[in-house]
Amino acid sequence: MEQGADKERYGDMHGIKAGYVYLYKNAGAIIKYEAAKALDKINREMTADGNSQQAMISSERTVSRGANQELNSGALRAELAKIPEESLFGGGAYPTLNTGALRAEMVTHHDAQYWIGQLRLFIDRPQVHNADDRCLENSMYKLASFGMAEDDDNRIKETNKFIVKYLYDNKDNQVFYDSISSTIAASWLAYMGYEDGIVHDILLERVEKVFEFVNNGDYDIYISPEGYPVIPQARRLHPLVNPDLYKNNCWRLPTVHDMFTYAHLPQKMADDQTIKAKINRIIEYVMDARYQRLHEGYGLMFVRPAKYYSMGWSVHLDGYNSDNFFGYSGLVWGAELMSKFATARKSGWFKRVLAHLEGYCKDGIYSFPKEYLGEARRKYYVGGGHMGLGEDRRRREWREIESTAWMLRILSGIEK
């Protein structure tokens, strides 16, 4: 969590820790491992700050319910007090958790194994875009949401090696969507720890090309279809995007996949101040009301000699242009994605989303409408179609557990 305004708004470390203890005690293997890892990190920070476990238990503060209001976390502190320290924490210079054993349980969870299998299918039939679970954009994001690493399963390592070859085989953007496909694949490899070669080149291009366009603050992205081949009747409701913005099959408009890319750049790139500044400018561009008023999905792209395709993948944020957030299935998903960026966190949209989600909080535990936590086959991860975190949804507590897990990701700024 950042220091300063963010920390003041979102509450102190003690309250965040109370939420993770609740998850550690009640969640299944996937969320339990995440909670254990977060607790271990917080314990280290608290020890470094000179805070004791007893000080945490006696604290009256928890996650803030808004800019100034604090929540009495008596129920959560009571839960903490019931846990024998020796059963929750190990020995050592600071309290630790046996995260190794918990990670093994996470990896063998049936949902984790299912999605690893879906990722592996990319080798047999490489497909990046589609609603099928086996498509890379769904399987990789799902595994990232679980916190999976390459060493967790040989099938992941095997698939990643294949993806590297796939990138080299498709590096010339021969087809109109190749630059987006390459971005998605390279961002997954960056998340997996790959840093050099083609991964670096693709991700750097996505920063440079998008920044080159957005830095001028130009939101006039459409042109008249006059002089172009006749647009089919079924597509005439969509505006035509200026072909200059995808010239040579390199997209210059920001995409939702770029957001994941920018949040998980290789460390050397992430530490580069020039790259940071450019990404910040890109985030400013998409958070602007003029951007959010653009046609959702951007519109049509013209592919010579006479084809039209829907672009898609714009960074439109659920509820941005509405006074009512109900009915937006991608609300929590979008808030978690954009919480990685300080510029987005300062926006009016993000603050309104937080205030809305806090309305579903009781004693530090969240319970969102199930529409915010959708999970079904043949859905896109992007937009909130795969929000499940491995909980048995026949259990009464599943919504509380998964809602709290997602909210803590938003509040604490944890990056997987």
- In order of 32, 106, 179, the CA distances from 146 in angstroms are 11, 8, 26
- Lowest average pLDDT, out of 96-105, 285-294, 395-404, goes to 96-105
Q: Which long-range contacts (CB under 8 A, 24 or more apart) does 278-282 make?
A: 278/207, 278/208, 278/211, 278/215, 279/207, 279/211, 279/341, 280/341, 280/342, 280/343, 281/211, 281/214, 281/215, 282/207, 282/210, 282/211, 282/214, 282/254, 282/258
Question: pLDDT tens for residues 123-180?
Answer: 999 999 999 999 999 999 999 999 999 999 999 999 999 999 999 988 876 777 778 8
- Lowest average pLDDT, out of 29-38, 164-173, 270-279, goes to 164-173
Cβ atoms within 10 Å, residue 91? 8
**In whole angstroms, what is the distance from residue 17 CA to residue 40 CA?**
10
Map tokens 């805070």 to a residue.
51
Q: Which two tokens stand for residue 301?
A: 């792209």
Q: Which two tokens stand for residue 196?
A: 């050099």
CA max distance for the chain = 75
Q: What are phi and psi of 275, to 5 degrees?
A: -65, -40
Q: Do residues 226 and 271 touch, judged by C-beta distance below 8 A?
A: no
Rounded mean pLDDT of the chain? 85
Could you tell me whether strands 307-310 and 222-223 are parallel, antiparallel, or unpaired per DSSP bridges?
unpaired
- Lowest average pLDDT, out of 77-91, 125-139, 234-248, goes to 77-91
Q: Which two tokens stand for residue 181?
A: 């496909």
Considering the entire predicted model, what is its pTM? Answer: 0.85
Q: What pLDDT is stored for residue 59 in this prediction?
A: 35
Amino acid making up residue 401: I
User: Does residue 288 register a pLDDT over 60?
Assistant: yes
43 confidence band (pLDDT: 50, 70, 90): confident
Q: What are phi and psi of 142, to 5 degrees?
A: -65, -45
Could you tell me whether strands 365-366 and 307-310 are parallel, antiparallel, or unpaired per DSSP bridges?
unpaired
Of the candidates 268, 286, 376, the residue with the CA atom closest to the CA atom of residue 334 = 286
Of the candidates 318, 337, 333, the residue with the CA atom closest to the CA atom of residue 263 = 337
Locate the domains of the chain by residue range. Answer: 5-104+320-412
The packing angle between helices 273-287 and 256-263, to 10°, is 150
Q: Do residues 330 and 256 touch, judged by C-beta distance below 8 A?
A: no
3-state DSSP assignment of residue 296: coil
**In whole angstroms, what is the distance from residue 397 CA to residue 414 CA?**
23
Of the candidates 195, 197, 121, 104, the residue with the CA atom closest to the CA atom of residue 159 = 121
User: Which residues have a Cβ under 8 Å from the Cβ of 338 and sit 6 or more positions away?
Assistant: 259, 283, 317, 344, 345, 350
Angle at 19 between CA 16 and CA 22, to 5 degrees: 155
Question: pLDDT tens for residues 55-79?
Answer: 343 333 333 333 222 233 344 444 4
User: Which residues have a Cβ under 8 Å from the Cβ of 238 and sit 6 or more positions away?
Assistant: 295, 297, 299, 300, 310
